[in-house]
């Protein structure tokens, strides 16, 4: 061993002793210097000419475990450190750079969280050299780890982490429909897939963690249903959707017609229109306006083949009778004879007679073709005769939720064409567990301002009405 080598060994031993290190000789990677060790070494060096520049050499060899921030730099300059030593300290700090893709991640070194990447990169300075365990994690992605060795003064770039999505799966069944159409859509990731359930569940795997919308359809017997679920574990998650029966869609055409009859009390309603007597208030708003606006008290009587209104209008009496073929109207001094008002009454009594619910329901069954339309719409069309290309008449019922008629549109589809609509409201009992609307409004689609309203106070069925009374 030369004198120079021996001197270097002595210097190293003395400096490390003064710096406060107590490292066994067998350690090959001594720790970097702390701020206190650098400060102690420099103070000792200033009083020992033989150790001149020894602090810089130790910093170059071992590195430091701190950043030369402004406060530390001011302190060191105050001790007399020159720019050369300060730059050596600045360069001697260790660093670890971690990169994550495809998302930003949280970084932990030796189980201590050191921060989050920005722009996919995080650099941590002043890391203690040695064997490091780097762990990166992000929501909905698999955590990854790697072991690396950091040497003194080393600026280490850890191999890039490429995170993989955590995935799970959904297994969907719907009841009680035997077959369902299933659509699964990701709320935020653009995923969409459709399929069927029958004997087995509709299963989709490899779904990234997050929120999904599941829609089940089984038309026409069931209403569609949508459910929101989360995929948050790798297990295959079963999802059961209970569909509600569509009371309209599940019925056949004739079952829908029977439901209409049932809403009025049953098939007996078809017979109540043969003979009745009712009291009502009538209001007529004419369109065109020349018809006028009228209010009247009305006694309505029905016997086979005869429909009669006995009206009291501003102190005058006026009667209108329809026998299925012709209309007769007269009254006090024939006050209204020939007026537009009288003509309107003579026209509308035909419609009120033929579009009463018991009458029109008896007409279309079994003589018309009956079919369901969209939800709560029932359509009846007259059957085609030889040479006909379209039905002569069509009746379209708009129904309430309980299947009672809400409105009825009659269309005469051959020349002369016509369209008229009845609206029904305020269903009340008329006895025998039967009910009928107590408000009936006649409208015309091509005369939107016209309204002929009957508001019944009392409807009596099967009451004796003498034939001569109906002719008065």
pLDDT, tens digit (0-9, with 9 covering 90-100), for 215-235? 999 999 999 999 999 998 989
Which structure tokens are listed for 424? 């029904």
Report the helix count and the strand count for the chain, using DSSP H and E: 9, 27
Please write the tens of the pLDDT for every residue from 330-348: 988 888 988 999 999 999 9
More confident residue, 271 or 179: 179
pLDDT at 49: 81
pLDDT at 45 over 90: no
At CA 419, angle to CA 449 and CA 434, rounded to 5? 90
pLDDT at 144: 95
pLDDT at 355 over 80: yes
pLDDT at 278: 95
For residue 183, CA distances in Å to 159, 192, 204, 227, 242 come to 41, 7, 11, 11, 15
Write the CB contacts of 373 (distance below 8 Å, at least 6 apart in sequence): 379, 396
Residues 443 and 449: their CA atoms lie apart, in Å, by 8
Q: Which residue in the block uniquely carries the two structure tokens 């020159």?
A: 82
Is 55 in contact with 18 (CB distance < 8 Å)?
A: no
**Entry pTM:** 0.63
Residues 130 and 127: their CA atoms lie apart, in Å, by 9
- Domains in the chain (CATH in brackets) are 3-91 (no CATH), 95-162 (2.60.40.1120), 167-242 (2.60.40.10), 253-471 (2.50.20)
Q: How confident is the model at residue 258 (pLDDT cuts 50, 70, 90)?
A: very high
For residue 435, how many other CB atoms are within 10 A of its CB? 17
Chain mean pLDDT for the chain: 88
Residues 440 and 456: their CA atoms lie apart, in Å, by 8
pLDDT at 465: 58
pLDDT at 328: 93
Arithmetic mean of pLDDT, 458-464: 83
Residues 199 and 225: their CA atoms lie apart, in Å, by 19
pLDDT at 263: 96
Query: At what angle are helices 3-19 and 54-62 packed, to 10 degrees?
Result: 80
pLDDT at 12: 52
Cis amide leading into 400 (omega within 30): no
- Quickly list H helices, 331-466: 340-354, 357-367
Q: How confident is the model at residue 7 (pLDDT cuts 50, 70, 90)?
A: very low
Residues of the chain above pLDDT 70, percent: 92
Arithmetic mean of pLDDT, 84-95: 87
pLDDT at 88 over 80: yes
Arithmetic mean of pLDDT, 144-167: 91
CA-based nearest residue to 134, from 152, 115, 154: 115
249 CA to centre of own chain: 22
């Amino acid at each position: 061993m030369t004198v120079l080598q021996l001197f270097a060994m002595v210097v190293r031993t003395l400096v490390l002793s003064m710096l406060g290190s107590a490292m066994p000789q067998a350690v090959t990677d001594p720790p970097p210097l702390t701020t206190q060790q650098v400060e102690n070494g420099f103070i000792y060096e200033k009083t020992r000419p033989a150790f001149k520049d020894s602090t810089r050499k130790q910093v170059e060899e071992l590195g430091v475990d701190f950043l030369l921030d402004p406060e530390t730099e001011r302190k060191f300059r105050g001790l007399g450190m020159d720019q050369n030593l300060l730059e050596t300290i600045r360069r001697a700090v260790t660093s670890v750079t971690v990169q994550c893709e495809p998302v930003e991640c949280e970084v932990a070194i030796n189980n201590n969280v050191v921060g989050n990447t920005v722009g996919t990169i995080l650099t941590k300075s002043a890391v203690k050299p040695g064997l490091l365990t780097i762990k990166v994690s992000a929501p909905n992605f698999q955590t990854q780890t790697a072991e690396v060795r950091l040497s003194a003064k080393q600026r280490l770039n850890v191999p890039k982490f490429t995170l993989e999505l955590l995935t799970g799966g959904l297994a969907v069944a719907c009841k009680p429909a035997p077959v369902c159409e299933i659509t699964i859509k990701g709320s935020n990731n653009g995923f969409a897939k459709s399929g069927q359930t029958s004997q087995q569940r509709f299963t989709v795997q490899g779904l990234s963690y997050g929120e999904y919308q599941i829609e089940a359809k089984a038309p026409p017997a069931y209403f569609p249903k949508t459910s929101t679920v989360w995929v948050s574990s790798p297990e295959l998650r079963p999802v059961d959707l209970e569909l509600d029966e569509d009371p309209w869609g599940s019925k056949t055409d004739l079952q829908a017609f029977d439901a209409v009859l049932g809403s009025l009390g049953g098939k007996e309603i078809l017979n109540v229109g043969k003979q009745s007597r009712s009291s009502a208030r009538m209001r007529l708003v004419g369109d065109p306006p020349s018809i006028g606006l009228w209010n009247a008290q009305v006694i309505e009587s029905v016997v086979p083949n005869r429909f009669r209104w006995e009206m009291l209008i501003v102190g005058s009496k006026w009667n209108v009778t329809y026998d299925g073929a012709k209309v007769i109207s007269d009254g006090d001094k024939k006050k209204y004879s020939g007026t537009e008002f009288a003509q309107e009454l003579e026209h509308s009594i035909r419609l009120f007679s033929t579009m009463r619910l018991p009458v029109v329901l008896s007409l279309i069954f079994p003589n018309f073709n009956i079919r369901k339309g969209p939800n709560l719409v029932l359509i009846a069309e007259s059957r085609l005769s030889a040479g006909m290309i379209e039905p002569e008449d069509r009746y379209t019922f708009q129904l309430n939720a309980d299947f009672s008629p809400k409105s009825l549109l009659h269309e005469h589809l051959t020349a002369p064409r016509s369209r008229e609509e009845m609206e029904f409201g305020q269903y009340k009992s008329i006895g025998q567990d039967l009910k009928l609307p107590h408000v009936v409004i006649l409208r015309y689609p091509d005369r939107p301002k016209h309204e002929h309203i009957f508001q019944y106070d009392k409807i009596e069925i099967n009451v004796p009405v003498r034939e001569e009374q109906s002719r008065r």
